[in-house]
Amino acid sequence: MDAARDFIELITEGKHTLFEPIEQEIAKQASELRARYNLALADAYQAAVALSTNCDVFLTNDVIFKRVTELNVIVVEEIEIEQASPSKQDESAD
C-alpha cells in the first residue's frame, strides 16, 4: 500500500474516530476559542468539535492546543515510551 492510502485509512477508519457535522453552535465556539487562544481557524474548529463531543483526550503533534485549557491535550512527542531492556538471556549470549 502506498503511504497516502495508509494515512487516509488511519484517519478515516480508526475505531476511535468520530466525524461530526459543523453546526452553527460549534462555529460560534470555534470563533470564541480562536479569539481567546489566538488559534488558527482550522485549529479552533478542531478544538470546538472536541469540546462539543466531550472528547476525553486530544492527541496531537501541535503544542498550540496546550493553550486550550478546557481540553485534555497530549502532544505525541511528550509521550514517554518505555523501551524494553535486554533480557538476561540476551546478555549472556555475548
Looking at the domain assignment, is residue 69 inside a domain? yes
Return the amino acid letter for 39: L
Is residue 86 in some structural domain?
no
Query: What does the pLDDT average to over 45-54?
Result: 96
Q: Mean of the pLDDT values across residues 63-82?
A: 92
**Res 31 pLDDT > 80:** yes
Assess if residue 89 is contained within a domain.
Answer: no
Asked if the model's pLDDT at residue 11 lies above 90, the reply is: no
* CA–CA separation, 76 and 8 (whole Å): 19
Assigned domain for 12 exists: no
Count of domains for the chain: 1
Is residue 30 pLDDT above 90, yes or no?
A: yes
- Identify the pLDDT of residue 21: 86
pLDDT of residue 85: 58
Residue 65 is predicted with a pLDDT of: 98
**What's residue 62's pLDDT?**
96
SS3 6: helix
Q: What is the DSSP letter of 46?
A: H
